[in-house]
Amino acid sequence: MLANRCITQGANMFASDALLGLAANPEDESLAVWDPEDEEFVSDEEAARRERDMAPVASPPRPVGGVLKRTDGRPEPLPPEGEPPDEGLESAPDEPEGEAPAAPAPAPRWTRIAAERKAFANFLTEHGLTEDEAKAIAAERLGLEGPLALFSDWPYTRERLQHVILTWLLHNRPAEGAEHWIDNPRARGRFWATVGEAGYDEQAVHEIIPSLHAWPGTLDEAVDYVVNAEREDRTWLGWPAPEGQEPLL
């Protein structure tokens, strides 16, 4: 920049016509410095500003051994060893690297959700069960001596409780007499197509529900039971028996 200024002043003094009148007036310093980046003459102030803008930004030094936290919330670097911290600072421990994020809050129990309670009430009505009967079945699944006092004592989801109840019904109140949905060709075709898409063939289905004519629930409940029910919820009464064990019934 200094060299450009010298050349400009020299040309202004001895060959002003070479500047085409741009800086012919020695008192006019508004266009005194040549900016090679933009190929134009600029003032000293503009040249200094552009030089500052183009200068790289230096990263602040990282504090060693932790940080000090101001009582007003602003962080400050630790002072050198042997020097006491400034007034208004309090020591704060380093954040451990790789610390796992806080666990998300647990979801509310299904008994606190109105839509879940309504769905379960409809399920009991469709299968002719009372709440006391459902609580007794749930307690039997959990191995308790008496029935549940509240449905909120059931530690799993509503869907899993319904799977347990359907297993109990399959053992104790199998469907009989009335026309079954499995006898309807369209319903039967939809059932086998749906479970087939989920990877279950006829043998796999009958290992879960030995007789579809005895299934006490709807077509959709049968599909959900085959695809989503936990093995221990399907076998806790011994039918079908886990491999290597005798049925309990």
String of DSSP letters for 30-84: TT-EEETTTTEEE-HHHHHHHHHHHSPPPPPPPPSS-EEEETTS-EEEPPPTTSP
In a domain, 200, yes or no: yes
Say whether both 48 and 140 belong to one domain: no
Q: Other C-beta atoms within 10 Å of 226: how many?
A: 21
In a domain, 18, yes or no: yes
Q: Other C-beta atoms within 10 Å of 205: how many?
A: 20
In a domain, 83, yes or no: no
Report the b/e string of 83-101 with b at 16+ CB within 10 A. Answer: eeeeeebeeeeeeeeeeee
Say whether both 17 and 117 belong to one domain: no
In a domain, 11, yes or no: yes
Range of the structural domain that residue 197 is part of: 110-235
Say whether both 119 and 197 belong to one domain: yes
CA distances from 90 to 124, 133, 138, 164 (A): 61, 62, 55, 57
In a domain, 61, yes or no: no
Say whether both 120 and 211 belong to one domain: yes
Number of helices followed by number of strands (H, E) in the chain: 9, 5
In a domain, 93, yes or no: no
Q: For residue 103, give the DSSP letter.
A: P
Say whether both 139 and 40 belong to one domain: no
Residue type, 239: W
In a domain, 248, yes or no: no
CB 177 within 8 A of CB 198: no
Say whether both 43 and 117 belong to one domain: no
Question: What pLDDT does 147 receive?
Answer: 87
In a domain, 43, yes or no: yes
pLDDT in tens, the chain (249 residues): 566 666 766 766 566 566 555 544 544 555 566 666 666 666 777 777 767 766 665 555 554 444 444 445 555 555 555 555 554 544 445 555 666 666 666 667 899 999 999 999 999 999 999 999 999 999 999 999 888 999 999 999 999 999 999 999 999 999 887 789 999 999 999 999 999 999 999 999 999 999 999 999 999 999 999 999 999 999 988 766 545 544 433
What's the structural domain count of the chain? 2
Say whether both 32 and 121 belong to one domain: no
Whether pTM > 0.95 for this model: the answer is no
Say whether both 134 and 229 belong to one domain: yes
